[in-house]
């Protein structure tokens, strides 16, 4: 077929309403499955709920960039002026005595002494530079001096920028900390030593999400670990919702549906802090650690499965509560949902992936919470 005919076919097609388009459109009707619609729409609502974006708000995430730039620019100007004051004039003078002579006009004796000290410091720097250049067998030409000034300036600028960046990151980290769940609860929720180690790793990971590891963060992790030894349970029983109280205690049951087949699933939920309960199921192929926390009227879940060596906990927020079924949704792994229902002495949990059943657990109460 000729090139012209191909081109004509294309032009006909681009004008629209071609037979080819009609025939294709007739067959092309597939839609994403309804469960996927639900997952994506729930994620969109969750995003609005958990991380509100306020246009023109001073707390919006893009606020840091212009402020950081402004801070850097201010520092640049300040440093340039400062460097000019400290070094610029002195470097330009070839005769060290000239700088001393320049102080003769100063009446105040103290100022004269300070000026002399400052100049001698600069002379010292000059000598050091000269020595270094001599070692390189290069003359201490003005161009080289300028290069040293530039290097010195750059070095100081780098330090200053690093400080600004660090301050910005610290602020951002604080802001994220306000939004992200603390993994302290997870730390407190780990009764087994191995779990604790993982939890500490998770704490470090959470801290990394804030991009700064600070001594305070390390101290916090220690505090979290200490908290697991002596949990503050007294306040919890007073403050917690009915859900936490219902779940508290010993349960025996089975994971009736898992990727590797059914398995026993025994778990005991105990108070870990005044508003958190936690339990770990040690089944035949992995450990599942569940930590539920209640703050005001909201309930959150931190779920950690070490299946196939996983050491990342997933934080889930309460999405809905319909007919006694509580649905939690992960904020970072939004394909994952957890559903939980408790009816007196029976409970079930379902872990859903992309809206499909991944794990189903059925539990029967065998003991109430130890006081």
Partner 1 sequence: MGKEYSDEELMLKYRNNDASAFESLYQRHKGSLYRYILRQCGNEAIAEELFHDVWIKLINARGRYKVKSRFTTWLYKMAHNRIIDHYRRQNTSSSKHHPDDDNLYIDSLAIRPQEQPEQLAELRQQSDKILQTLETLPLPQREVFLLKEEAGRTIQQIAEITGVSADTAKSRLRYAISKLRQAVREQV
Segments in the chain forming alpha helices (H): 3-14, 19-27, 34-50, 64-83, 89-92, 96-101, 109-135, 142-179, 184-188, 193-209, 215-229, 234-239, 242-247
Is residue 21 at the binding interface for partner 1, with CB under 8 A as the rule? yes
- Shortest distance in whole angstroms from residue 59 CB to partner 1: 12
- Shortest distance in whole angstroms from residue 30 CB to partner 1: 5
Write the DSSP symbol of residue 210: T
- Does residue 145 contact residue 91 with C-beta atoms inside 8 Å? yes
How many residues bind to partner 1 according to rule CB under 8 A?
42
Among 153, 285, 348, 354, binds partner 1 (CB under 8 A): 354
Note the Cα 12 to chain centre separation in Å.
53
- Shortest distance in whole angstroms from residue 20 CB to partner 1: 6
What is the total residue count of the chain? 371
- Count Cβ atoms below 10 Å from residue 203 Cβ, excluding itself: 23
The C-alpha atoms of residue 346 and residue 332 are separated, in whole angstroms, by 30
> Near partner 1 by CB under 8 A, which window of 21-29, 92-100, 149-157, 240-248?
21-29
Q: What does the DSSP assignment read for 279-324?
A: EEEE-SS-EEEEEEEEETTEEEEEEEE-GGG----EEEEEEEEETT
The residues, any chain, with a CB within 8 Å of residue 47's CB and separated by 6 or more, are none
> Near partner 1 by CB under 8 A, which window of 22-30, 84-92, 100-108, 176-184?
22-30
- Shortest distance in whole angstroms from residue 61 CB to partner 1: 6
**Which lies closer to partner 1 via its Cβ, residue 43 or residue 112?**
43
The residues, any chain, with a CB within 8 Å of residue 340's CB and separated by 6 or more, are 325, 326, 328, 347, 348, 349, 350
Question: Of residues 34-73, which lie at the interface with partner 1 (CB under 8 A)?
Answer: 36-37, 39-41, 43-45, 47-48, 51-55, 60-62
**Which lies closer to partner 1 via its Cβ, residue 1 or residue 193?**
1
Among 4, 17, 30, 107, binds partner 1 (CB under 8 A): 30
- Shortest distance in whole angstroms from residue 114 CB to partner 1: 51
Letters for 314-343 (x = contact with partner 1 by CB under 8 A, - = none) are --------------------xx--------
Binding site for partner 1 (CB under 8 A): 1, 6-7, 9-10, 13-14, 19-21, 23-33, 36-37, 39-41, 43-45, 47-48, 51-55, 60-62, 334-335, 354
């Amino acid at each position: 077929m000729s090139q012209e005919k191909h081109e004509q076919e294309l032009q006909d097609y681009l004008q629209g309403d071609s037979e080819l388009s009609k025939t294709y459109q007739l067959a092309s009707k597939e839609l994403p499955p309804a469960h996927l619609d639900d997952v994506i729409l729930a994620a969109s609502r969750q995003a609005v709920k958990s991380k509100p974006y306020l246009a023109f708000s001073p707390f919006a995430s893009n606020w840091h960039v212009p402020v950081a730039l402004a801070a850097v620019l201010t520092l640049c100007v300040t440093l340039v002026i400062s460097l000019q004051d400290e070094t610029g004039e002195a470097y330009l003078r070839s005769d060290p005595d000239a700088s001393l002579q320049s102080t003769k006009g100063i009446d105040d004796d103290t100022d004269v002494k300070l000026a002399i000290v400052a100049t001698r410091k600069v002379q010292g720097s000059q000598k050091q530079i000269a020595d270094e250049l001599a070692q390189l067998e290069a003359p201490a030409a003005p161009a080289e001096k300028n290069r040293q000034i530039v290097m010195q300036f750059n070095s100081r600028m780098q330090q200053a920028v690093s400080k600004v960046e660090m301050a910005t990151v610290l602020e951002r980290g604080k802001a994220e900390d306000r939004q992200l769940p603390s993994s302290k609860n997870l730390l407190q929720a780990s009764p087994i030593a191995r779990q604790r180690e993982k939890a500490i790793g998770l704490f470090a990971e959470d801290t990394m999400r804030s991009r700064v590891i600070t001594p305070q963060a390390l101290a916090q992790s220690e505090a979290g670990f200490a908290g697991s030894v002596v949990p503050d349970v007294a306040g919890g029983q007073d403050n917690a919702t009915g859900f936490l109280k219902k779940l508290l205690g010993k349960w025996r049951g089975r994971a009736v549906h898992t990727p590797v087949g059914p398995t026993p699933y025994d778990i005991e939920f105990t108070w870990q802090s005044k508003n958190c309960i936690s339990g770990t199921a040690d089944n035949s192929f992995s450990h599942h650690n569940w930590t539920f926390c209640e703050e005001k009227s909201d309930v959150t879940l931190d779920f950690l499965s070490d299946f196939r060596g996983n050491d990342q906990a997933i934080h889930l927020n309460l999405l809905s509560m319909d007919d006694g079924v509580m649905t939690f949704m992960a904020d970072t792994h939004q394909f994952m949902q957890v559903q939980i229902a408790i009816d007196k002495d029976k409970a079930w949990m379902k872990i859903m992936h992309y809206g499909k059943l991944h794990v189903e657990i059925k539990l029967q109460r065998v003991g109430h919470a130890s006081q």
